[in-house]
Amino acid sequence: MNKIKALKEERGRLIGELQTLQNNIEKEARSMSDSESARLDEIDARLDSIKSEVEKLEKLQARAAEAANLAGVSSYSEQKEVSKMSEKFSFKRALQMAATGRKDGVEAELSAKAADEFQRSGVSVAAHSVLIPSDVFKRDMTATGGSPAGTEGGYNIATEVGGIIDVLLPKTVLRGLGVQQLNGLVGNLDLPQASTLPNAGWNTENGTAAEKSPAFGKVSFSPKRLAAYIQVSNQLMLQSSNSIDAYVRNWLLNAMAQSLETAAIKGGGSNEPTGIIANGSVNVTYAGGAASNATNANGAAVVWADVINLMKAVENANGEGVAYLTNPLVKAALQTTPRQASGVEGNFIMPSGANELNGYNAAFTTLCPSNLSKGAASDLSAMIFGDFSKMAIASWGGMELTVDPYSGATAGLTNVVLNSYMDVNLLQPTAFAVCKDIDA
């Protein structure tokens, strides 16, 4: 802890002062003055206070470490065992277990493990739900593996069941940009955040240095329920093929991944975390190279200056951006707009086929909005530049699977709900800049 370090440094200074006092008295062969005696009492009392405070803080630190180990991470052998069980996990059997109340097999063992995760995290779940530990879906939640476009298992549905032609899915890109993961949290989490720059002052040789105390704020995370819901045909659940595992698992996880990413990019809606675009502390630039929001009342087409202004805003705030993020509409505009007004054909802002913009990585997804409003326009797009490692996605426990075989019984349907508990926040909002009024 920084507090422990500061206290120990103070103790060192005080002991040094005592040593100097003792040396002076011995050197001058005199008795201690009243002021020196009073100072000795002050230092003695302060050293006792420091000792007590350090002992308490070190005890607190030790208890926190013990708690982390308990909630921590499981041993290698435990992780290996869970990994083996995860490979045998069947979504179909989990659905049947939730519907019938019968608990056995790998699914029951993993549900018990997940119950421990939720208990440690302080998140309440329904008693009749089947719980799924985070390890089972650690890889799946990226929603980027497999073929095509993250729909792993999409082609292995038995033909006698009838293949399901799924929708084309938006890309989820944030994890690839370096967003931090805070997993297995217990209770709410506050991260102290320094809000002032280090500052020193020039002074005369013997002048008293002015105090430059840092100021601190905090970034808070608290569990918010992210839920996905699907109705599954009872006939499909009875099939012996793995279609139910492939389709239901991917549908629910893709729904969650897309909702999480949408909130992280924009957010700010009812019950949602606040994402980059909705965060009031990020840097803001204006399309068309405009210097203020008052220019271009209904937005403007993207120009080369917009790319540079986003970078400038982040670097002027002492940030180090690593990537641009926008949607395919802006991407197309970047690839057809010359860098200069008198444009030379082919000298476009972004070359065709490139994955870079202005020398930085560039990511594109339809989850970056194209329906923002300004003036009379309601179809404006956003473009973001920033250091995405300054964003964190937090999670509490694993997932809660709730199966309702009754509400849709007359139609031969079973309702399946998957709950998780997550939050998103920016650790340093000024490490990001956003342009929200691009007419693409």
CA-to-CA distance for 118 and 396, rounded, in angstroms? 7
Look at residue 7 and give its three-state secondary structure. Answer: helix
Cβ proximity of 409 and 297 under 8 Å: no
Nearest to residue 394, comparing CAs of 118, 182, 174, 117?
182
Q: Does the bond joining 338 to the residue before it have cis omega, within 30 degrees of 0?
A: no
For the CA atoms of 289, 294, 296, 301, the dihedral, rounded to the nearest 10 degrees, stands at: 40
Burial of 194 (0-12, 13-18, 19+ CB in 10 A): exposed
pLDDT in tens, the chain (440 residues): 467 777 877 888 888 888 888 888 888 888 888 888 888 888 888 888 888 888 887 777 666 555 544 444 445 556 566 666 766 777 777 777 777 777 777 788 878 777 777 777 767 777 667 787 766 655 444 444 333 443 444 444 444 445 566 678 888 899 899 999 888 888 888 888 777 777 777 888 777 777 667 777 889 999 999 998 888 887 776 665 556 667 777 888 888 899 999 999 999 888 899 999 999 999 999 999 999 999 999 999 999 999 999 999 999 999 999 999 999 999 999 999 988 876 566 689 998 888 899 999 999 999 999 999 999 999 999 999 999 999 999 999 888 888 888 888 888 888 888 899 999 999 999 999 999 999 99
Six-digit token pair at 423? 């939050």
DSSP 197: -
Name which CATH class applies to 75-193+216-440.
alpha beta
Residue type, 255: A
DSSP 267: B
pLDDT value of position 35: 87
DSSP 300: B
Residue type, 183: N
pLDDT value of position 65: 55
Residue 149 region by backbone torsions, left for phi larger than 0, else alpha for psi between -120 and 50, else beta: left
CA-to-CA distance for 439 and 377, rounded, in angstroms? 9
pLDDT value of position 44: 87
Please provide the DSSP assignment of 328-385 as one string.
HHHHHHHTTSBSSTT--TT-BSS-TT-SEETTEEEEE-TTS-S-EEETTEEEEEEEEE
Q: Where do the H-state alpha helices sit in 29-153? A: 34-71, 76-88, 91-100, 105-121, 134-137
Q: Which residues pair with 404 in a beta bridge?
A: 415
The domain ranges of the chain are: 2-71, 75-193+216-440
Burial of 288 (0-12, 13-18, 19+ CB in 10 A): middle
pLDDT value of position 432: 98
Q: Does the bond joining 148 to the residue before it have cis omega, within 30 degrees of 0?
A: yes
CA-to-CA distance for 414 and 410, rounded, in angstroms? 10
pLDDT value of position 215: 74
Cβ proximity of 230 and 416 under 8 Å: yes
| Helices 105-121, 91-100: inter-axial angle, 10-degree rounding | 80
Burial of 128 (0-12, 13-18, 19+ CB in 10 A): exposed
What is the sign, positive or negative, of the torsion defined by CA atoms of 258, 260, 264, 266?
Answer: positive
What's the full length of the chain, in residues? 440
CA-to-CA distance for 11 and 19, rounded, in angstroms? 12
For tokens 């470490």, name the residue: 65
Six-digit token pair at 433? 């800049």
Cβ proximity of 243 and 347 under 8 Å: no
Burial of 157 (0-12, 13-18, 19+ CB in 10 A): buried
Non-local CB neighbours of 163 within 8 Å, separated by 6+ positions: 155, 157
Cβ proximity of 123 and 421 under 8 Å: yes
| Consecutive H or E run containing 226 | strand 224-233
CA 111 to the chain's CA centroid = 26
For tokens 């994890």, name the residue: 175
